[in-house]
C-alpha cells in the first residue's frame, strides 16, 4: 500500500480503510508508520518490521499471518517495491498462494516526471544512481544514448557529485531536480547540470528525484567524438605531459564520454608509447 510522499493529506480513502481494517501492519520503518497511524487516530495495530536487512527471517512469519489475516505492507513514503522493500515479499506471497492487492497512490519519480515537463513517452526509471564514479558515468552515458527521459533517485550527500559528473558528460543536458516533493521545503530546479548546481540549496537535504531530458548524443558527439579527433587530443595531452587523470577529465567533458573509458584509453596509449606497463597517476 502506498503512503504519502510528504504531505499526509495525499493519502487515499482506500489506504485509510486498509490501515483501519488490517490485522497486521508491516512497515519499512515502524517509527514512520506509527506517525502515520497517529496522524489519523488509528491505534492498536500490531507493527512488524520488514526491510532488506531482516527480510530472510521476516518473510515466513509475515506470510503465515497473511494466509488467514489481513496484512498491509507500507514503505516510508510512496509505493513499496519502487526502490523500497516489497518486491521480494510480493513474489514470495504469490508463490505461497497468498492473494495480493496493490492500492494505487503516490510514486515519487512519476510525480517528478510530470513536474519536469520532459517527454514521458518511453520514460525510463533507473532507480538509485550508482555510487562508484565509473559505474555512475557509464549508467548515465547508456541512459542518454537511449534518447528518452530517464528518472533516478539520489541521496542528498551525493547529488553535487552526480550533477558535476553530468556536467562532465553532457554540459548542455537539461535536468530537473525535485527535492522534498510535497513537503514544506520542496525545491524544483530546471536547467543544465551547472545551473542546477548553482540553484541548489546547501547543505543538500531530503529526498531527491533527478530527471534527465532526452539528449541527442549523436549530434553532440558527431564532430568532436570521431576516433581520430579523440586520438589526436590524447596524443596532444601526452605530448604536453598532462597527468592521465587530468587529461581524462578534460577529454571526457570535451567528447561527452565516460571519464573511466577515456582514462583507460589514455593508459593504453601511454603504455604503447613506453612499450611496456603504464602506471596510474
CATH code for the domain in which residue 205 is found: 3.30.950.10
Q: Please give the mean pLDDT across all residues of the chain.
A: 90
The answer, yes or no, to whether residue 223 has pLDDT greater than 60, is no
- Verify that 82 and 15 share a domain, yes or no: yes
- Verify that 114 and 154 share a domain, yes or no: yes
- Verify that 124 and 165 share a domain, yes or no: yes
For the segment 19-29, what is each residue's pLDDT rounded down to a tens digit?
A: 999 999 999 99
Domain membership of residue 52 as a residue range: 8-95
In a domain, 100, yes or no: no
- Could you tell me how far CA 189 lies from the centroid of its own chain? 16
For the segment 41-98, what is each residue's pLDDT rounded down to a tens digit?
A: 999 999 999 998 999 999 999 999 999 999 999 999 999 999 889 999 999 999 999 9
- Verify that 127 and 202 share a domain, yes or no: yes
- Verify that 114 and 201 share a domain, yes or no: yes
> What's the pLDDT score for residue 217?
57
- Verify that 88 and 127 share a domain, yes or no: no
For the segment 195-217, what is each residue's pLDDT rounded down to a tens digit?
A: 999 999 899 999 999 999 998 75
The answer, yes or no, to whether residue 261 has pLDDT greater than 50, is yes
Question: Which residue has cell 531527491?
Answer: 208
DSSP assignments along the chain, one per residue:
--B-SS-GGG--HHHHHHHHH-SEEEESSHHHHHHHHHHTT-----EEE--TTTHHHHHHHHHHHHTTS-EEEE-SSB-TTSSSTTHHHHHHHHHTT----------HHHHHHHHHT---TT-EEEEEPPSSHHHHHHHHHHHHHTTS-EEEEE-GGGHHHHHHHHHHH-TT--EEEEESTTSTT-EEEEE-HHHHHHH--SS--S-EEEEE----HHHHHTTTTSHHHHHHHHHHHHHTT--HHHHHHHHHHHHT--HHHHHHHHHHHHHHHHTS-----
Exposure b/e, 1-37, CB count within 10 A at least 16 = b: bbbbbbeeebbbeebeebbeebebbbbbeeeebbebb
Q: What integer is the mean pLDDT of 169-194?
A: 95
> What's the pLDDT score for residue 245?
86
In a domain, 24, yes or no: yes
- Provide the number of structural domains found in the chain: 3
- Verify that 39 and 89 share a domain, yes or no: yes
- Of 22-26, 141-145, 251-255, where does the model show the most confidence? 22-26
Q: What integer is the mean pLDDT of 98-112?
A: 96
> What's the pLDDT score for residue 176?
98
- Verify that 149 and 196 share a domain, yes or no: yes
The answer, yes or no, to whether residue 219 has pLDDT greater than 90, is no
Domain's final residue, options 197, 215, 233: 215
- Verify that 123 and 208 share a domain, yes or no: yes
Nearest to 100 by CA among 87, 119, 117: 87
> What's the pLDDT score for residue 110?
97
Amino acid at each position: 500500500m502506498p503512503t504519502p510522499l510528504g504531505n499526509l493529506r495525499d493519502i487515499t480513502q482506500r489506504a485509510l480503510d486498509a490501515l483501519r481494517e488490517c490485522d497486521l501492519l508491516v512497515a519499512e520503518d515502524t517509527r514512520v508508520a506509527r506517525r502515520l497511524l497517529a496522524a489519523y487516530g488509528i491505534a492498536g495495530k500490531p507493527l512488524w518490521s520488514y526491510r532488506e536487512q531482516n527480510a530472510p527471517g521476516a518473510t515466513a512469519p509475515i506470510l503465515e499471518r497473511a494466509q488467514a489475516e489481513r496484512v498491509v505492507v507500507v514503505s516510508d513514503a510512496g509505493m513499496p517495491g519502487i526502490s523500497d522493500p516489497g518486491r521480494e515479499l510480493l513474489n514470495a506471497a504469490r508463490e505461497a498462494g497468498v492473494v495480493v492487492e496493490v492500492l494505487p497512490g503516490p510514486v515519487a519519480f512519476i510525480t517528478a516526471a510530470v513536474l519536469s515537463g520532459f517527454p514521458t513517452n518511453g520514460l525510463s526509471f533507473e532507480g538509485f544512481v550508482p555510487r562508484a564514479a565509473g559505474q555512475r558515468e557509464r549508467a548515465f552515458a547508456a541512459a542518454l544514448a537511449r534518447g528518452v527521459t530517464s528518472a533516478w533517485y539520489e541521496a542528498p550527500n551525493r547529488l553535487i557529485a552526480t550533477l558535476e559528473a553530468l556536467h562532465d558528460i553532457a554540459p548542455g543536458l537539461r535536468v530537473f531536480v525535485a527535492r522534498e516533493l510535497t513537503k514544506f521545503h520542496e525545491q524544483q530546479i530546471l536547467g543544465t547540470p551547472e545551473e542546477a548546481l548553482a540553484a541548489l540549496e546547501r547543505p543538500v537535504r531530503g529526498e531527491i528525484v533527478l530527471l534527465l531530458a532526452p539528449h541527442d548524443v549523436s549530434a553532440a558527439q558527431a564532430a568532436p567524438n570521431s576516433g581520430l579527433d579523440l586520438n589526436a587530443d590524447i596524443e596532444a595531452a601526452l605530448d604536453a605531459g598532462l597527468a592521465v587523470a587530468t587529461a581524462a577529465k578534460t577529454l571526457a567533458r570535451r567528447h561527452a564520454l565516460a571519464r573511466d573509458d577515456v582514462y583507460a584509453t589514455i593508459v593504453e596509449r601511454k603504455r604503447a608509447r613506453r612499450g611496456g606497463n603504464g602506471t596510474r597517476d
